[in-house]
A and B are shown apart, each in its own frame.
Chain A
């Protein structure tokens, strides 16, 4: 086994404790390193108190750890200022929160939002639900021959009425990397802000919001080795005056009268209610874990090696498989396929019996499934703790599975 992978593998108790199981569902959620597990326990043993309001030492400790986490996340994505980091419960919440604000302060009837057909439902429904009420129109860019968002088609959809482009960095179903930088440059030439859905890129591609020059970016902690229940909405400072949500509550205010409220600044006015404090701190410790092991690019390199091998092995079977990417497509360590004429559910069920966890179904991308004219796919998604040996075992199991279904 690759030494570097072995070193990472050892840090994941779940992986160590289940050597016979193969976990290939990392795009859904990653396993957690010991550092993050200890962080959660340490928080409840030594810190636990509510943040931002107490004068006692525990509340101060908890607040310090929570705000330190904000700085750690800001550094991780190279935000200019920690106030640009808004903690949420996850990507879905982040998009909804942003949509809630922008429909409150920014969009007008007749405006248009440009998305792609490959978006996760979490980057469609928050816009669709509100757009229908507010008279805002959604437009969808299609895919090119590499299964990426077709940038030329996207550009052709933009008009004077376009007020936002919301696009995924990496397709959660296909694993393909989209040309977000080019899209952002084009959008800014037309004074259109861009939201990048980084849920599937955050654990694989180094994220630098200043270099990308994105206006908004969202991701979840649990897909990058952190606990579930924490996510981030990054919002460039120049947009903070638009960030007034319709839903609000405790912690978000400076002064409340019975009929009027003076709100706090961003990020606090967007973090109403008691947040998931231990998950926020756990996210910072997941970032420490990533940095300690060489940074995201080191994870990318390990995964790239695994991905190339996985792609090669699957493309060897292309007579028996429908594969929804190409060897030329820029991608992360995710791939979707079907066994020809077989339902992904059957394939996933049998693979599960061989001890291999893969995802089957529409992956919350039904518009993409309709575009591809399929019910669903089998999705394999790797992390840096997976191995070449596991891929070999998976291919063996896939052979047996195909045989059983024929």
Chain B
């Protein structure tokens, strides 16, 4: 039941991406713009403690748990990774740990972006997802 919340957001995102069809430029433009909507992460958190290992660019991710909900903040020094993490946060931000851990993060495949992500990027994506899950598992 609570799982439906993330899946519902995923469905909305997939509907938006459907409009782009095979137009990878449009998809990337969307991703890049999405990154720009991410609330600013205070510089004090852009440290090695919050750095996600395994990305060619630097991606920082921090989460706080409140009333069993996870509240994330993130940033990157590159636009595409920032857009990707923003996309993932659209799904998992302010959700419960259980919901996040039950979600399969299939969205990247479903929006047809996986084939356009280089191997290093794909690794970075895996690192981002692992990092989100670790925050959900913690405490």
- A contact residues vs B (CB 8 Å cutoff): 342-343, 345-346, 348-350, 352-353, 360-361, 375-376, 400, 404-405
Contacts and interface: CB of A to CB of B under 8 A. Distances in A.
Interface string B101-123: 00000000000000011101100
Interface stretch (B6-14, B23-31, B60-68, B92-100): B23-31
A353 B29 CA distance: 13
Given A352-B118, A404-B25, A404-B29, A346 B56 contact: no
Interface string B45-59: 000000000001110
Contacts of B121: 345, 349
B77 A405 contact: no
A361 B79 contact: no
A343 B79 contact: yes
A404 B78 contact: no
Contacts of B81: 345
A384 B133 CA distance: 48
Q: Which 8 A-B pairs have the closest CB atoms?
A: A343-B78, A345-B57, A345-B78, A345-B56, A346-B78, A346-B79, A346-B80, A343-B57
Given A343-B79, A348-B118, 15 more contacts: A343-B57, A345-B57, A346-B57, A346-B80, A349-B80, A350-B80, A352-B116, A353-B28, A360-B56, A361-B120, A375-B57, A375-B58, A376-B56, A400-B25, A405-B32
Contacts of B77: 343, 375
Contacts, number: 44
Nearest to B117: A349
A348 B118 CA distance: 9
Nearest to B76: A343
12 contacts: A343-B77, A343-B78, A345-B56, A345-B57, A346-B79, A346-B80, A349-B121, A353-B24, A353-B28, A361-B120, A375-B77, A404-B32
B125 to A, nearest CB: 12
A143 B58 CA distance: 27
Contacts of B29: 404
Interface of B: 24-25, 28-29, 32, 56-58, 77-81, 116-118, 120-121
A375 B81 CA distance: 15
A342 B79 contact: yes
B60 to A, nearest CB: 14
B56 to A, nearest CB: 5
Contacts of B116: 349, 352-353
Contacts of A350: 28, 80
A405 B25 CA distance: 11
B75 to A, nearest CB: 12
Contacts of A353: 24-25, 28, 116
Contacts of A348: 118
A349 B80 CA distance: 8
Given A343-B77, A405-B79, A349 B118 contact: yes
A202 B34 CA distance: 45
A404 B80 CA distance: 11
Contacts of A361: 56, 120
Contacts of B58: 375
A342 B35 CA distance: 14
Nearest to A405: B79
Contacts of A400: 25
Nearest to A400: B25
A350 B57 CA distance: 14
A226 to B, nearest CB: 24
Max count, chain B CB within 10 A of own CB: residue among A343, A375, A376, A405: A343
Contacts of B78: 343, 345-346
A306 B116 CA distance: 28
A83 to B, nearest CB: 41
A336 B50 CA distance: 30
Nearest to A343: B78
A325 to B, nearest CB: 22
A67 to B, nearest CB: 38
B24 A345 contact: no
Nearest to B29: A404
A391 to B, nearest CB: 22
A341 B59 CA distance: 17
A348 B119 CA distance: 12
A379 to B, nearest CB: 13
A266 B79 CA distance: 53
Contacts of B56: 345, 360-361, 376
A376 B117 CA distance: 19
A89 B110 CA distance: 41
A404 B118 CA distance: 18
Contacts of B120: 345, 361
